[in-house]
Amino acid sequence: MIELTHLTKRFGDNVVLNDICTTFPEQETTVILGPSGSGKSTLLRSLNLLEHPEEGQYQIDDLQVNFAEPISSQTTFAVRQKTEMVFQGFNLFPHMTVLKNLIEGPVHVLKKPKADAMAEASTLLKHVGLADKADAYPSQLSGGQAQRVAIARSLAMHPHYILLDEPTSALDPELELEVLKVLLTIHEQQQSMVIVTHNMSFAKRVANKILFIENGDVQYDGSAAGFFASENPRIKRFIDSMSFTI
Amino acid sequence: MWKIITDAIPQLLVAGLKFTLPMAIISFVIGMVIALAVALTRISTKRGAFNLLRWLASAYVWLFRSTPLLVQLFIVYFGLPHLIIPGVFPEGIKLDPFMAGIITFSLNTGAYCAETVRASLLSVPQGQWEAAYAIGMRRGMVLRRIIIPQALRTALPPLSNSFIGLVKDTSLAVSITIVEMFEVSQQIAATNYQPLLMYTLVALLYAVFCTVLSWLQSWLERKFSAYTSVEGGMIS
């Protein structure tokens, strides 16, 4: 379970996250929605400590992070073991083959035996439909393939939560679909996920919970069904603007 | 004339292989260690004592890039013996010529390469740091396993430039009494009165050394570029 209380993040005078209090239930998929610049990526990146809000408490399982105080490297390390990040730009390691990308963390961070890590990596590649790409370099992959490798790379670390930051925003609709299908199977296996996305139909399909953020404020925090049936004019306008209904 | 050349070449080659190349290689290796340390210091964002370290690193780069190498050699070899500090160096710092050469060339090439290394480390996209941090790596491991291997690819051509430059700059060591390749050519010219022939010959030998090094560079570039789809060169 992830719980955030009174999380506030500023960039200079600009308040990006304003007193956020929410939870991300385990074994469920939480989707964060909101217009560009609303702070949703910053919120997600805070969960991996890639951003450090100035104030607030962050609890993940038995770990407690107080953002008002300096965060020790042990805490950072422990939080990052529990969470994995999937980025909009994939961020695969270009100097390593796909297989090496997958075993890099397990072997060098988790100190797993190489043979075990390789066997698991092969299984994961099969799982995302890329068994034949083990020896390819990232530059030889399509965007959809690269993102599926990135998802497999995050799964290889057995994180409690996978955090996905607009995982399909850089992809065309066909490639986007490949990635979403993979995410759907992971969702069905009850992997805890937090996804920032602009794809409303996908959000509708997978979200157990929706968090709608605008200008750093939580505008909606609740069930997906409740969100899509909301009478709130701002939410209705947002949903309408995401589907082409002119 | 042919006899003069065949007599001279072995002597020049021996000097080249005994002094010129070892001096260049040892200085470059030490210079690279300095360069990496300086570059890492300069890109670090730590505060406190690191502010002073960063300032020292910048001052070092500034000093060695803004003074002539020949003058640096003179200061280290002829100047330091006069640096008498009671208790620490009561008789000044006396170095044998080869040592003085290595120290000066290392510091000089280190200053230039520090800038190359710094730029190439910064050229690796921020996302690579983030992805590596996200899988739980610590800073040292990120640098060693993710950032430096990628930066090396970018740094290779300019670093090769520095190395080739250094091989030729070792000829300045003639001024601090090292019997390297150029000094030997001067000695031979003084006895056979063939300065044009001897200096052309030694120039050619430098060119041979540097050509071999350029080949080595191309080979390394090909090896490192295995992972990029566009094999060097621009998109046309």
pLDDT of residue B224: 77
Establish if A222 touches chain B: CB-CB under 8 angstroms: no
pLDDT at B97: 93
Do A93 and B131 count as a contact with CB atoms less than 8 A apart?
yes
Quote the minimal CA–CA distance from B211 to chain A in Å.
28
pLDDT for the residue B158: 94
- Residue A47 touches chain B, beta carbons under 8 Å: no
Confidence at residue B231, expressed as pLDDT on a 0 to 100 scale: 46
Provide the number of structural domains found in chain B. 1
pLDDT bracket for residue B226 (50, 70, 90): low
A49: pLDDT strictly greater than 60: yes
pLDDT at A244: 66
User: Which residues span the domain enclosing B110?
Assistant: 2-227
**Assigned domain for B235 exists:** no
Could you report the per-residue pLDDT of B171-196, keeping only the tens digit for each? 999 999 888 899 999 999 999 999 99
Whole-number pLDDT of residue A37: 85
Q: How far is A178 from chain B (nearest CA, A)?
A: 22
CA distance B38 to B61: 8
* Mean per-residue pLDDT over chain B, rounded: 91
Residues of B with CB under 8 A from a CB of A: 125, 127-128, 130-138, 141, 145-146, 149-150, 153, 226-229
The burial class, CB within 10 Å (0-12 / 13-18 / 19+), for B150 is: buried
pLDDT value at position B230?
A: 46
Q: At what angle do helices A143-155 and A173-188 cross, to 10 degrees?
A: 20
Mind spelling out the 3-state secondary structure of A25-38? CCCCEEEEECCCCC
Both tokens of B174, joined, read 């003639």
Query: How confident is the model at residue A225, as a pLDDT?
Result: 92
Residue, of B87 and B28, whose pLDDT is higher: B28
Shortest distance between the Cα of B116 and any Cα of chain A, in A, equals 20
Each residue of B59-93: pLDDT tens digit?
999 999 999 999 999 999 999 998 988 888 888 88
Decide: A203 and A33 in contact? Cβ < 8 Å: yes
Q: Please say if the pLDDT value at position A227 is more than 90.
A: yes
The pLDDT of residue A53 = 95
- The answer to whether position B232 is within a domain reads no
Q: Which of A84, A136, A145 is nearest to A109 (CA)?
A: A84
Residue B69 lies in a domain: yes
pLDDT, tens digit, 9 for 90 and up, residues A172-193: 999 999 999 999 999 999 999 9
Asked if residue B37 is part of any domain, the answer here is yes
Contact B149 A109 (CB under 8 A): no
A chain contacts of residue B145, beta-carbon cutoff 8 Å: 104, 108
Mean pLDDT of B122-141: 95
Query: Which of B131, B137, B226 is facing A91, going by the closest CB pair?
Result: B131
Q: Which of A77, A91, A95 sits opposite B150 (nearest CB)?
A: A95
Q: d(Cα B132, Cα A85) in Å, to the nearest integer?
A: 10
CATH of residue B206: 1.10.3720.10
Pick the CATH number of A2-242 from 2.60.120.10, 3.40.50.300, 3.40.50.880, 3.90.1300.10: 3.40.50.300
Short-list B22, B167, B31, B203, CA closest to B98: B22
Does B234 map to a domain?
no
Contact list, A83 vs chain B (CB under 8 Å): 134
Cα–Cα distances (Å) from A102 to A30, A157, B132, B198, B225, in that order, read 25, 9, 12, 59, 21
ipTM: 0.92
Contacts of B134 in chain A (CB under 8 A): 48, 50, 80, 83-85, 154
DSSP 8-state class, residue B67 = S
Is the Cβ–Cβ distance between B108 and B64 less than 8 Å? yes
Percent residues over pLDDT 70 in chain B: 95
What is the per-residue pLDDT across A116-147, written as a single tens digit (0 to 9) for each?
Answer: 999 999 999 999 999 999 999 999 999 999 99
Secondary structure in 3-state letters for chain A: CEEEEEEEEEECCEEEEEEEEEEECCCCEEEEECCCCCCHHHHHHHHCCCCCCCEEEEEECCEEEECCCCCCHHHHHHHHHHEEEECCCCCCCCCCCHHHHHHHHHHHCCCCCHHHHHHHHHHHHHHCCCHHHCCCCHHHCCHHHHHHHHHHHHHCCCCCEEEEECCCCCCCHHHHHHHHHHHHHHHHCCCEEEEECCCHHHHHHHCCEEEEEECCEEEEEEEHHHHHCCCCHHHHHHHHHHCCCC
In a domain, B174, yes or no: yes
Over pLDDT 90: what percentage of chain B?
A: 69
Cβ B134–A137 below 8 Å, yes or no?
no
pLDDT 10s digits, B2-20: 888 888 889 999 988 999 9
Per the CB < 8 A criterion, the answer to whether A129 and A179 are in contact is no
Cα–Cα distance measured from residue B94 to residue A104, given in angstroms and rounded to the nearest whole number? 50
Whether residue B234 has pLDDT greater than 70 = no
